[in-house]
């Protein structure tokens, strides 16, 4: 599988080099040399960014590799898509100038027709009839031959290689603007922080006293070599402005160890909610030392729900470990979290991955809050997210259980989002008895 991925990346980079460098620059020129060097260095930086964390590289090195390496991965996607669109435009641009170059000028055509109608033979005959000396004996030996009028040459056609170069540069330049522009806008969307989304979810078992209870759902913050303490602070400030009754951090808080990212997570201690702040693990916690992070978020004032539940005024709040924890014997345990509860009470479940929705339905959960998908993060990744998950983003219903999937507040890998803006969702519970 790794070989297939590497071969695909090599093929894509070869295509990008050909269209953006090989077809648009002079052989041996400085621009071609620079483009060729970039075609080797940038993918190496991307590979380094992907593997440095897992390989245990120093955190400073991870940060050095992360920005150029991850941003180039996003640029590869959108440059390739833009160039593929350009392939459809390229032959059209080549043909239009060719037709214009091949069309003779009307004035030249008229002139050429005049020469053909009154050619040298006709003028010679006219001269013979108008000059009496031409009939005299011996006159033919002394008469000068008639001068032939040569046909005017057709205007030169534009040089074909020059036309191809113009088309290659036009298409390549447009693709570069579109690709890098898309990545730039997507990066800005991540770095400015998530917006706030509000939804209302009616629950049949929710008592009137809990009507209007507001849960701030935040998932997939992904603190790491790129998104750090400032990112956490923006999220905390945004959540606190919504004045929620409860905060639910639904997994994938970090991409790294407590030693490297502990300071980046510290602003979470300033979260404010009347009924507390809760946390469940995501798959990335198990890549980063889940046990250490569970202990650390406790120190920051968050309450981890590890296959556990608490009673909130009007409903039960439960949380299960992520399924990635099964590799450590710490996977989700629905029976432990929900098995002996009072089923007449409404139940809200925090579970990082939407795929556990069928277990939630089997245990009578009224509402499951999840993340994990990022809403696809990079278009057209939303189609993949929809295929790989029961719900890619938003609110859906499975039997008597409703599922809400957040697009997340951060980004994994490239700090770029296209077509899937980050969000913090305020879920307002509504009682049908109100």
How does pLDDT run across 78-124, given as a tens digit for each residue?
A: 999 999 999 999 888 888 755 554 444 443 434 334 434 444 444 44
Q: Return the closest-CA partner of residue 197 out of 347, 408, 381.
A: 408
Beta bridge partners of 395: 404
SS3 80: helix
Q: Return the closest-CA partner of residue 277 out of 261, 265, 292.
A: 265
User: Cα 1 from chain centroid?
Assistant: 23
Q: Return the closest-CA partner of residue 387 out of 365, 423, 409, 354.
A: 354
- Provide the 8-state DSSP code for 419: S
Looking at residue 383, its pLDDT comes to 95
Q: Return the closest-CA partner of residue 251 out of 54, 51, 401, 409.
A: 409
The two structure tokens encoding residue 314:
């009007």
Looking at residue 133, its pLDDT comes to 41
What is the C-alpha separation between 359 and 370, in angstroms, rounded?
13
Cβ 346 vs Cβ 206: under 8 Å: yes
Distances (CA, A) of 166 to 46, 74, 91, 171: 31, 27, 12, 9
Beta bridge partners of 369: 350, 404
144 by Cβ neighbours in 10 Å (0-12 / 13-18 / 19+) ranks as exposed
Classify each residue of 87-121 as buried b or exposed e, where b means 16 or more C-beta atoms within 10 Å of its C-beta. Answer: eeebeebeeebeeeeeeeeeeeeeeeeeeeeeeee
What is the C-alpha separation between 211 and 229, in angstroms, rounded?
35
Query: Which is it for strands 401-405 and 308-312: parallel, antiparallel or unpaired?
Result: unpaired
The two structure tokens encoding residue 290:
């889940």
The two structure tokens encoding residue 42:
């940038």
Looking at residue 96, its pLDDT comes to 72
pLDDT of residue 258 exceeding 70, the answer is yes
Task: Give me the helices (H) in 103-159, please.
Answer: 106-117, 120-130, 139-142
Q: Return the closest-CA partner of residue 352 out of 415, 304, 422, 400.
A: 304
Looking at residue 54, its pLDDT comes to 86
Helix, strand, coil: what percent of the chain each, to 5?
Answer: 50, 15, 35
- Looking at residues 188-197, what average pLDDT do you find? 96
**Average pLDDT in the chain:** 88
Please report, rounded to a whole number, the percentage of residues in the chain having pLDDT higher than 70: 85
Cβ 408 vs Cβ 231: under 8 Å: no
Query: Which is it for strands 401-405 and 394-398: parallel, antiparallel or unpaired?
Result: antiparallel
- Looking at residues 183-203, what average pLDDT do you find? 97
* pLDDT tier, 395 (very low <50, low <70, confident <90, very high otherwise): very high
The two structure tokens encoding residue 220:
């997939």
Q: Which phi and psi angles does 428 have, rounded to 5°? A: -100, 120
Sign of CA dihedral 228, 230, 235, 239: positive
Please report, rounded to a whole number, the percentage of residues in the chain having pLDDT higher than 90: 77
What is the C-alpha separation between 208 and 228, in angstroms, rounded?
41
333 by Cβ neighbours in 10 Å (0-12 / 13-18 / 19+) ranks as middle
The two structure tokens encoding residue 282:
């995501």
Looking at residue 128, its pLDDT comes to 46
Instruction: Kindly report the pTM of this predicted structure.
Output: 0.83
**Which H or E run contains 180?**
helix 160-191
The two structure tokens encoding residue 19:
């269209």
- Looking at residues 386-409, what average pLDDT do you find? 97
Looking at residue 49, its pLDDT comes to 95
Looking at residue 23, its pLDDT comes to 93
pLDDT of residue 413 exceeding 60, the answer is yes
Q: Return the closest-CA partner of residue 364 out of 392, 390, 337.
A: 337
How does pLDDT run across 73-89, given as a tens digit for each residue?
A: 999 999 999 999 999 99
How does pLDDT run across 128-176, given as a tens digit for each residue?
A: 444 444 444 444 444 444 444 455 555 555 555 688 899 999 999 999 9
* pLDDT tier, 319 (very low <50, low <70, confident <90, very high otherwise): very high
Looking at residue 322, its pLDDT comes to 97
SS3 430: strand
Beta-carbon contacts of 123 under 8 Å, excluding residues fewer than 6 positions away, are 146
For the residues of 55-70, what is the DSSP string, one character each? TT--HHHHHHHHHHHH
Query: Which is it for strands 315-319 and 303-304: parallel, antiparallel or unpaired?
Result: unpaired
What is the C-alpha separation between 314 and 207, in angstroms, rounded?
6
Query: Which is it for strands 246-250 and 303-304: parallel, antiparallel or unpaired?
Result: unpaired
């Amino acid at each position: 599988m790794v070989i297939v991925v590497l071969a695909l990346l090599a093929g894509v980079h070869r295509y990008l080099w050909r269209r953006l460098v090989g077809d648009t620059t002079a052989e041996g020129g400085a621009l071609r040399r620079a483009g060729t060097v970039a075609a080797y260095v940038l993918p190496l930086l991307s590979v380094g960014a992907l593997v440095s964390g897992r390989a245990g590289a120093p955190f400073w090195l991870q940060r050095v590799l992360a920005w150029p390496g991850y941003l180039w991965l996003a640029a590869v996607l959108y440059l390739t898509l833009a160039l593929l669109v350009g392939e459809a435009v390229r032959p059209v641009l080549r043909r239009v100038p060719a037709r214009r170059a091949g069309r003779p000028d009307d004035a030249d055509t008229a002139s050429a027709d005049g020469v053909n109608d009154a050619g040298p033979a006709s003028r010679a005959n006219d001269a013979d009839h108008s000059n009496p000396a031409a009939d005299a004996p011996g006159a033919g030996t002394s008469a000068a031959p008639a001068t032939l009028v040569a046909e005017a040459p057709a205007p030169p056609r534009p040089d074909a290689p020059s036309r191809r170069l113009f088309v290659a540069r036009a298409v390549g330049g447009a693709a570069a603007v579109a690709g890098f522009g898309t990545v730039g806008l997507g990066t800005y969307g991540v770095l400015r922080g998530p917006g706030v989304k509000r939804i209302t979810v009616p629950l049949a078992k929710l008592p009137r006293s809990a009507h209007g209870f507001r849960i701030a759902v935040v998932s997939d913050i992904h603190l790491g070599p790129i998104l750090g303490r400032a990112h956490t602070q923006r999220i905390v400030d945004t959540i606190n402005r919504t004045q929620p009754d409860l905060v639910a951090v639904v997994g994938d808080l970090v991409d790294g160890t407590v030693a490297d990212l502990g300071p980046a997570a510290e602003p979470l201690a300033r979260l404010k909610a009347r009924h507390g702040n809760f946390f469940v693990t995501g798959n990335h916690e198990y890549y980063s030392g889940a046990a250490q992070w569970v202990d650390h978020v406790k120190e920051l004032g968050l309450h981890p729900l590890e296959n556990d539940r608490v009673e909130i005024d009007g409903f039960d709040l439960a949380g299960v470990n992520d399924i990635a924890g099964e590799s450590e014997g710490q996977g989700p345990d629905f029976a432990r979290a929900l098995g002996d509860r009072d089923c007449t009470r409404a139940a809200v479940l925090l579970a990082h991955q939407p795929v556990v929705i069928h277990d939630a339905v089997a245990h009578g959960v009224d509402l499951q809050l999840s993340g994990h998908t990022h809403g696809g993060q990079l278009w057209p990744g939303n189609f993949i997210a929809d295929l790989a998950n029961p719900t890619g983003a938003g609110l859906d219903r499975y039997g008597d259980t409703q599922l809400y999937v957040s697009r997340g507040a951060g980004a994994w890998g490239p700090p770029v989002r296209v077509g899937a803006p980050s969000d913090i969702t305020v879920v307002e519970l509504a009682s049908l008895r109100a």
